[in-house]
Amino acid sequence: MMSTIARLLLGFVFLGSGVAFFFTTPPPLEGAMADFFKGMAATGYFFYLLKGTEIAFGFLLMLGMFVPLALVVLAPVILNIFLVHAFMAPEGLALAVVIGALEIYLAFFSKYSGPIKQLFRS
């Protein structure tokens, strides 16, 4: 039951974030965050790739399909979210910690942990 709730919460965060990108205008940013986002936007493709990934794998988490794969693919995204907020925008750090905790719980302490733990065996 706890695994299901954690999976649905994490899936909802990523599905919602990905979909919101295509339907809302982001708030204006200042300083280092503005520079960081301008750099990513300058590629012309990065945000579409990132948000498409968030939608696809958030949807898989919501459906309970390919959960270990979704957790592995989303891990670097979650790490980057955490680091960006830790170093440039600490006001968003609480959400980053929550999604990081959900990821760690699902990947290492839930019923989905078996395939992921196999990645760390020699």
Residue 122 counted as domain residue: no
pLDDT digits (tens, 9 = 90+) for 66-105: 999 999 999 999 999 999 999 998 988 999 999 999 999 9
Closest by Cα among 45, 111, 106 to 73: 106
Residue 107 lies in a domain: yes
The type of residue at 107 is: A
Question: Over the stretch 20-42, which tens digit does the pLDDT of each residue have?
Answer: 999 998 888 888 899 999 999 99
Residue 56 lies in a domain: yes
Domain that holds residue 91: 2-116
Number of domains in the chain: 1
Does any domain span residue 70?
Answer: yes
| pLDDT recorded at residue 29 | 87
Considering just the CA atoms, what is the radius of gyration of the chain in Å? 15
User: CA angle 57-60-61, nearest 5°?
Assistant: 90
Give the distance from CA 106 to its chain's centroid. Answer: 13
- Measured distance CA(27)–CA(107) in Å, rounded: 32
